[in-house]
Structure 1
Amino acid sequence: MDTDLSDLLALLDLTPLDDDLFQGESRNIVGPRIFGGQVIAQALVAAARTVPARTAHSLQAYFLRPGDAREPVLYRVERIRDGGTFSTRRVVAEQRGRPIFDFAASFHNAEDGPAHQTAEHGAPDPDGLADEQTVTAEFLKDEDISENFRAALLRRKPVEIRPVTRRHPLRPEKAEPIRQVWLRAAGEAGDDPLIHQALLAYVSDHSLMGTALLPHGITFLDRDMQVASLDHTLWFHRPVRLDDWLFYDMESPIATGARGFNRGQVFNRAGELVASVCQEGLMRKA
């Protein structure tokens, strides 16, 4: 299903049911199961609504059960602690009375302190790269596939993605476990810092698990593989805006025991490291 930025922003506009209870709508983005990035982003918004004047600096999430994209999600917030400069929240996402997702986030007052950065990205300029849909369309032009499947692979997304390396979505070749993309919101996202953090949380789940699949020449589309995110951790180092280009540099240093470990660094166009990501996912023969 096509998803525009306005659709995603609507998903982030949670309905308050009580002081610590929120409802988020769902959308069929990648199939009947809820896209993990959607639940991460909505849980972050739910937690932040109970923490005025502080900004999230880290979050950690566990995917417990597949979510149903046809039903709304309830987010129950637990106020763990409010200290002098930090606040901690736990959020449990539920459908049909059962938890599907467990989430914790820490919020911090802005303050000064020692600063350094060792990482550099050295990425090619995004203006010289084609967007993901254009690249995919070129690969699919001679493929004998159904129009519904073609439309699903070419669906519009709320975030524009420009891959550094072009890869055929249906004919994967074994490659080094490295994936690099430029990304930005496909439209105006406003000035609310929380919304920009939530947008990054949403898109940080896109392509990350696929990095661990690259050395094995497999994709999410392989029917003999069961692939699913197990957990997701995100640190916000600096203020972030999704209406300007961000470079997402991903790698998978190890896969073992039917689990693939992935990590990523997110840089703004000035080369500043704005966020770091880690994720482990299931890689199992179905």
Structure 2
Amino acid sequence: MTEDFDFICALQPERIDELRFRGITPPLNIPTIYGGQLMAQVMHSAAQTLDNPRPAHYLQASFIASGDPTKPLDFEVRKLRDGKSTSNRQVEVSQAGTTLLAAALSFQTISEGYSHQVPMPAVDRPETLLATGDHEMQFSDDDNAPFPFWIVVCPPTSGGREPYSSVWTKPRFNAAEDSLLQQMLFAFVSDASILQAALQPHSLTWEDPGLAIATMNHSLWFHRSLNINDWHLMHSVSPSTHDGRAFATANTFSDQGNLVATIAQEGILRRRPSQ
């Protein structure tokens, strides 16, 4: 990763006209375009078309084709509705005429209502895990270009074969107190580790030779405002892995135990055919 400022700028595509934007891929030291990057850029592009700023409350993305991280990205926004409390948008991401991603988003004015949440799981603190062992998930072999977020894995229980996983995460830099940027950065990191829960019943790791893992579709719902600079716990559960696909959901809690978001993801999980 380059300087933090350059990374943030890369997540904010340039406006070409009212509904079209042009973006780039930040250097993340990975061979393909990272899905979390596209979702952050989609959220930024859609938000620029709002008449009045509103926080996002859901994003649903379908990943259609892989792209080239060295080439520009085109974002086309479609306005579906601007109501009294919600605004709906569709965004298509393409590269050289090929559609890479199609997304639906909704933005909603904050209002009063009923409130409840599930409890936060009891796990070891991230500071303890970082101090006592090798619990950091690595996305890059280059120490000079680390992944923009800390991903700290909680030790599995029950021998590590249950379809559950908990990770702590926060940026390696201090993000500005901007609600849109905070949500964009959450969308970015939400794609990083959710399928860990699907790997554990099969004793698989991200580095296993010949293993194919890729996001097919990804949804997230924001329940409360968040401060991305604090540690957040993503607790994921994988109810099913079958037919070369894995599915997982993740509740995300703030450091204070508030449920801030829920994620759902389906991805490819299979062995690559022998050459």
Cross-structure match for 2:230: 244
What's the CA shift string for 1:9-55, capped at 9, x where partnerless? 12222211111111111134253210111011111111111123211
Q: Check conservation: 2:28, 2:145, Cα contact below 8 A.
A: no
After TM superposition, give the deviation of residue 240 of structure 1 in Å.
1.1
Matched, 1:163 2:153: yes
After TM superposition, give the deviation of residue 226 of structure 1 in Å.
2.0
RMSD of the alignment, in Å?
Answer: 2.5
Q: Which moved more, 1:117-126 or 1:65-74?
A: 117-126
SS of 1:46 mapped into structure 2: helix
- Distance change (3 Å), C-alpha of 1:126 and 1:19: same
SS of 1:59 mapped into structure 2: strand
Distance (whole Å) between structure 2 residues aligned to residue 43 and residue 131 of structure 1: 36
Distance (whole Å) between structure 1 residues aligned to residue 82 and residue 240 of structure 2: 37
Aligned length: 269
After TM superposition, give the deviation of residue 183 of structure 1 in Å.
1.2
What's the CA shift string for 1:116-166, capped at 9, x where partnerless? 11332223222212189x7279x99xxxxxxxx983488512112222128
- Distance change (3 Å), C-alpha of 1:231 and 1:98: same
TM-score (norm 1): 0.86
Distance (whole Å) between structure 2 residues aligned to residue 197 and residue 175 of structure 1: 32
Alignment of 1:111-126 (within 5 A): 111-126=111-126
Distance (whole Å) between structure 2 residues aligned to residue 92 and residue 152 of structure 1: 32
Cross-structure match for 2:22: 23
Identity of aligned residues (%): 33
Distance (whole Å) between structure 2 residues aligned to residue 7 and residue 177 of structure 1: 37
Extract unaligned runs of 5+ from structure 1. Answer: 141-148, 167-172
SS of 1:104 mapped into structure 2: strand
1:178 to 150, 155, 164: 164
Distance (whole Å) between structure 2 residues aligned to residue 115 and residue 197 of structure 1: 21
Distance (whole Å) between structure 1 residues aligned to residue 102 and residue 85 of structure 2: 24
1:200 to 151, 164, 186: 186
Cross-structure match for 1:91: 91
Q: Check conservation: 1:47, 1:89, Cα contact below 8 A.
A: yes
Q: Check conservation: 2:129, 2:135, Cα contact below 8 A.
A: no
Letter in 1 for 2:43: L
Letter in 2 for 1:165: P
Q: Check conservation: 2:182, 2:226, Cα contact below 8 A.
A: yes
Distance (whole Å) between structure 1 residues aligned to residue 261 and residue 144 of structure 2: 28
- Distance change (3 Å), C-alpha of 1:229 and 1:179: same
SS of 2:16 mapped into structure 1: strand
What's the CA shift string for 1:46-98, capped at 9, x where partnerless? 11111232110011000000121111211100001111111100000000111
Distance (whole Å) between structure 1 residues aligned to residue 122 and residue 6 of structure 2: 33
Distance (whole Å) between structure 2 residues aligned to residue 59 and residue 26 of structure 1: 20
TM-score (norm 2): 0.90
